[in-house]
Amino acid sequence: MTTILPWQLRAAFARRLSAMYGREVPAYNTLVEVSEEVNRDVVEREGATAQRLGSIERITAERHGAIRVGTPAELSQVARIFGALGMRPVGFYDLREAARSAVPVISTAFRPIDAEELALNPFRVFTSMLTPADQRFFSPDLRGRLETFLAGRELFGPELLALADRAEQELGLPEAEAERFLALAVRAFELSAEPVDRAWYAELEAVSAVAADIGGVRSTHINHLTPRVLDIDDLYRRMTERGIEMIDTIQGPPRWEGPDVLLRQTSFRALAEPRAMREPDGTVTTGALRVRFGEVEARGVALTPAGRERYDALLTEIDVRLPGDSGRTRAEVAVEVWREGWPATERGLREQDLAYFSYALNLELPAGTPPDTLAALVDEGWVTATPIVYEDFLPRSAAGIFQSNLSSEGSRDTGQQGVDYDQSWLSGAIGREIHNPFLLYGYEQSASVGAIVANLNLTSL
């Protein structure tokens, strides 16, 4: 009997979700098509350099999704489904604090955490949970009705959850069960045809469009699915040429001549989709909701805490310089700030310990005694350093991406938060450890260094 392993379930789930989302949101297919064109051109132009941060096979299949749920119980169920796919919660994002675009959710990302699993298929899902107890968004009365509404719905059925638990415990499923599990899992994220209560949806929408998308309906759905592209500026141009209106900017670090770091993302605004609506008089009509959008991203090397601190300081510096700077665009100011404050080479990133690398002994070694620093081992041809790709998200960009979904600002008071929704609260609520992304990258780097120390019989590096 063949067992379908967690990574195979993950890859199959990502593929089927992609096919389903393409049927529901055809503009997503355009985005994927243009991304593939861009990637082909970059590989043709740059060859092996283009694949420094992942093979073209990995990048072509690579997606992240975004989903939104209402309660800790729902999030725990999501964790079981993704657990079956070998995906663990990593990182904590609080989108309620974002300056321009506060959204009443806290989030984590489910993804594989081992290098081998990531290489097999890196599918990740940004997963947000509504925060009804946050009194800055919800009055006690609305909170009460919202929590009652959420408690009365079922997003994931018992058969799906039982199969998920079995897959997580047994590290995979037999073929027939795998097939059933995948079909049920994909179906759980389809857009429901059930009528939306127009008045209830509108009441939540006055607080936040995201609150309405989560708590205004009796089911959940995939919000967006994001392909990875090797040249996001080129993609932005090509989408614009095709007449698709993108948001103003590419979020994240600027385009410049140095190595790609972290994550750059852009998106187009949510499209109007027909949805059945239940009117206050009980009749059902066809309305339209703008909820789902298209997003695309380029990934670079993961930064250390020191790198991240410097990165954040440079972003702040751009904002400081920009207002007094007449006539230059943000992108131009950003490049100037980057040239002043950020190393232009991978070597510079390594020397200043700003980014994570994986080190491997070369097949052919120079003659003589190996030097006793990592930098010298790389310089003298003993060891090759490969950047570790950033597998996570950026709170500032995420807040900007949520904007693609908002037609109005919503409302927020300056009152009490109510519950302290922090990382340990979230971890307790779902009964799982939320991994620290820095520790995961750091572990991969130090394991690679440890192997070199052992292989070259050194005492340390």
Site for Ni ion in 211-230 (CB under 5 A): 226
Contact residue for ligand OOG among 39, 77, 223, 266 (CB under 6 A): 223
Judged by CB, which is closer to ligand OOG: 53, or 401? 401
> Rule CB under 6 A: is residue 278 a binding residue for ligand OOG?
no
C-alpha–C-alpha distance, residues 394 and 250, integer Å: 13
Q: How many of the chain's residues bind Ni ion (CB under 5 A)?
A: 3
Site for ligand OOG in 347-406 (CB under 6 A): 393, 397-398, 401-402, 405
Q: Which does 266 bind (CB under 5 to 8 A by kind): ligand OOG, Ni ion, none?
A: none
Please report how close the Cβ of residue 152 comes to ligand OOG at its closest, in angstroms.
Answer: 23
Q: Identify the CA nearest to 335 among candidates 277, 256, 280, 260.
A: 256
Judged by CB, which is closer to ligand OOG: 370, or 400? 400
Neighbours of 379 (CB within 10 A): 12
Judged by CB, which is closer to Ni ion: 5, or 244? 244
47 DSSP 8-state letter: G
Judged by CB, which is closer to ligand OOG: 39, or 405? 405
Judged by CB, which is closer to ligand OOG: 287, or 395? 395
Judged by CB, which is closer to ligand OOG: 69, or 196? 69
Please report how close the Cβ of residue 419 comes to ligand OOG at its closest, in angstroms.
Answer: 21
What is the Cβ-side half-sphere exposure of residue 93, based on CA atoms within 13 angstroms? 27
- Residue 317's region, left for phi above 0, alpha for psi from -120 to 50, else beta, is alpha
Contact residue for Ni ion among 12, 17, 25, 66 (CB under 5 A): 66
Tokens of 286: 């066809």
Neighbours of 365 (CB within 10 A): 15
208 DSSP 8-state letter: -
Neighbours of 243 (CB within 10 A): 6
What type of residue sits at position 357?
F
Q: Identify the CA nearest to 354 among candidates 363, 364, 344.
A: 344
- The residue sitting closest to ligand OOG, measured at its beta carbon, is 398
Please report how close the Cβ of residue 222 comes to ligand OOG at its closest, in angstroms.
Answer: 10
Q: Which does 338 bind (CB under 5 to 8 A by kind): ligand OOG, Ni ion, none?
A: none
Q: Which does 397 bind (CB under 5 to 8 A by kind): Ni ion, ligand OOG, none?
A: ligand OOG
Q: Which does 84 bind (CB under 5 to 8 A by kind): ligand OOG, Ni ion, none?
A: none
Buried residues in 166-193 as b, exposed as e (16+ CB within 10 A):
ebbeeebbeeebbeebbebbbebbbbee
Please report how close the Cβ of residue 355 comes to ligand OOG at its closest, in angstroms.
Answer: 20
Q: Identify the CA nearest to 213 among candidates 140, 270, 152, 283.
A: 270
> Rule CB under 6 A: is residue 128 a binding residue for ligand OOG?
yes
Backbone angles phi, psi at 441, to 5 degrees: -65, -40
Q: Which does 68 bind (CB under 5 to 8 A by kind): Ni ion, ligand OOG, none?
A: ligand OOG
Q: In what order do the strands lie in the sheet with 88-94?
A: 88-94, 105-111, 124-130, 63-69, 224-227
Please report how close the Cβ of residue 371 comes to ligand OOG at its closest, in angstroms.
Answer: 42
CB 356 within 8 A of CB 444: yes
Q: Which does 445 bind (CB under 5 to 8 A by kind): Ni ion, ligand OOG, none?
A: none
> Rule CB under 6 A: is residue 222 a binding residue for ligand OOG?
no
Buried residues in 429-442 as b, exposed as e (16+ CB within 10 A):
bbebebbebbebbb
Tokens of 89: 């919660």
Q: Which does 69 bind (CB under 5 to 8 A by kind): ligand OOG, Ni ion, none?
A: none
CA 141-142-147 angle, to 5 degrees, is 105
Q: Which does 181 bind (CB under 5 to 8 A by kind): ligand OOG, Ni ion, none?
A: none
3-state secondary structure of 145: helix
Q: Which does 223 bind (CB under 5 to 8 A by kind): ligand OOG, Ni ion, none?
A: ligand OOG
Q: Which positions from 39 to 68 touch ligand OOG by CB under 6 A, shown as an x/- string? A: ---------------------------x-x
Judged by CB, which is closer to ligand OOG: 326, or 408? 408
Q: Which does 402 bind (CB under 5 to 8 A by kind): ligand OOG, Ni ion, none?
A: ligand OOG
Site for ligand OOG in 240-269 (CB under 6 A): 265
Tokens of 399: 């807040």
Which secondary-structure segment (H or E) carries 39?
Answer: helix 26-46
CB 303 within 8 A of CB 262: yes
Please report how close the Cβ of residue 265 comes to ligand OOG at its closest, in angstroms.
Answer: 6
Judged by CB, which is closer to ligand OOG: 101, or 448? 101
What is the Cβ-side half-sphere exposure of residue 174, based on CA atoms within 13 angstroms? 3
Q: Which residues bind Ni ion (CB under 5 A)?
A: 66, 226, 295
Q: Which residues bind ligand OOG (CB under 6 A)?
A: 66, 68, 126, 128, 223, 265, 295, 393, 397-398, 401-402, 405
